[in-house]
Amino acid sequence: MNILVTGGAGFIGSHTVERLLQGGADNVSILDSFNDYYNPAIKRANVRGFADRVTVHEGDLTDAAFIRRVFEEGRFDAVIHLAARAGVRPSIEQPELYIDTNIKGTFNLLESARRTGCKHFVFASSSSVYGVNKKVPFAETDPILQTISPYAMTKMAGEQMCSNYSHLYGIKTVCLRFFTVYGPRQRPDLAISKFSRLIEEGKPIDKYGDGHTARDYTFISDIVDGILGALNYRTGPVCDIFNLGGSQTVTLNDLIATIEEAIGKKAIIHQLPEQPGDVPLTSADVGKARQFLNFRPQTTIAQGVPAYVEWFRKMRAAGVAVC
């Protein structure tokens, strides 16, 4: 199978590419802009171990002509679309950038898939689309009446575009709603990364609200299991949606305590008010993914945080600036 992984140099993308290669895939391409949302050197380090085994296309999702050339050259059987502008808070500050990248970029990919006959498209959505959902855990059948950040809005728009292209052109699309992915190589702006670095250095961490907000944290290897399950999912509706979560909702206070234990130091807390756009709770019902994608998350937060800290310290010792 000829596979394109967008965002293949990033956190989730690089792990996905590695797993594809380990599974025997011999025709994998990645598309990444290596932009400066965080240090591009981190992303280049991510691909160093497999760069000679894949085709790397460096460019921007919003460049329609570039995307057309990539698809004309690659003639892909399947796309795993992981590239995006991520993060709730930055999307409030720069909504136009998020609309351009996440909506226009996804359109460019789907349109090129249509033109070149690619018939399988896996789209990375987000638990953010659920907004302030009072029903717990969140299920794919829950009505989504209000998103509360530009980031979430762009992900919902991406799901709707996938639905359109499935209905109109017969492209099998699978939308995966990720629930707070973490682990080695995760972005430096994510909470576990920031907190680990600052606690290690004895600096204050920003804590928004009273610490009772909660997230369903999902370890990277479990997420990749779900992505590969979606890649091989050929039955069911032509457009389908699955939650991928760790089935372990953890409060901010408990997360900080877990990181403190892994680092071996107490955090210095800089207390701040709650942030606009942040949802109070995420919790995934993964029954559908378990049934159809054989998705069974294995790694608890008590196991995953120390694994991240071990990687973080190893990279620092090697002189790699990962934060």
The tens digit of pLDDT for each residue in 67-81 reads 999 999 999 999 999
Reply yes or no on whether the pLDDT at 60 is more than 80.
Answer: yes
pLDDT of residue 78: 98
| CATH number attached to the domain at 3-182+217-247+281-298 | 3.40.50.720
Reply yes or no on whether the pLDDT at 134 is more than 90.
Answer: no
In the chain, alpha helices (H): 11-22, 40-47, 64-74, 88-93, 95-98, 105-116, 150-169, 191-201, 220-231, 252-263, 287-293, 301-317
Whole-number percent of the chain with pLDDT over 70 = 99
What is the rounded distance in angstroms from the CA atom of residue 113 to the CA atom of residue 92?
30
pLDDT of residue 275: 79
Where in the sequence numbering do the catalytic residues fall? 151
Q: If residue 239 lies in a helix (H) or strand (E), which one and from where to where?
A: strand 239-244
What is the rounded distance in angstroms from the CA atom of residue 279 to the CA atom of residue 274?
10
Which comes out higher in pLDDT, residue 258 or 40?
258
Indicate the pTM of the whole model.
0.95
- State both tokens at 246: 């760790």
Reply yes or no on whether the pLDDT at 83 is more than 90.
Answer: yes
DSSP annotation of 284: B
Reply yes or no on whether the pLDDT at 323 is more than 70.
Answer: no
pLDDT in tens, 269-300: 999 998 777 778 899 999 999 999 999 999 99
pLDDT of residue 279: 79
Q: If residue 207 lies in a helix (H) or strand (E), which one and from where to where?
A: strand 204-208
What is the rounded distance in angstroms from the CA atom of residue 121 to the CA atom of residue 98?
21
Mean pLDDT of the chain: 94
Reply yes or no on whether the pLDDT at 221 is more than 90.
Answer: yes
What is the rounded distance in angstroms from the CA atom of residue 251 to the CA atom of residue 211?
7
Length of the chain: 323
Q: Taking residues 21-30, what's their average pLDDT?
A: 95
Position 183 confidence tier, pLDDT thresholds 50, 70, 90: very high
Which comes out higher in pLDDT, residue 168 or 133?
168
Using N-to-C axis directions, what is the helix angle for 301-317 and 252-263, rounded to 10°?
50
For the chain, the C-alpha Rg in angstroms (whole number) is 19
Which comes out higher in pLDDT, residue 146 or 277?
146
DSSP annotation of 275: P
Reply yes or no on whether the pLDDT at 160 is more than 70.
Answer: yes
pLDDT of residue 320: 67
Reply yes or no on whether the pLDDT at 164 is more than 90.
Answer: yes
Where along the chain do its domains lie? 3-182+217-247+281-298
Q: What are phi and psi of 303, to 5 degrees?
A: -90, -40
pLDDT of residue 125: 98
Position 319 confidence tier, pLDDT thresholds 50, 70, 90: confident
- State both tokens at 32: 């990444």
pLDDT in tens, 1-19: 999 999 999 999 999 999 9
Say how far residue 229 (Cα) sits from the centre of its chain.
Answer: 16
What is the rounded distance in angstroms from the CA atom of residue 64 to the CA atom of residue 82?
17
Position 172 confidence tier, pLDDT thresholds 50, 70, 90: very high
From residue 66, alpha-carbon distances to 6, 98, 108, 130 in Å are 13, 19, 10, 33
pLDDT of residue 278: 76
Q: Taking residues 183-201, what's their average pLDDT?
A: 93
- 284 close to 247: Cβ distance less than 8 angstroms: yes
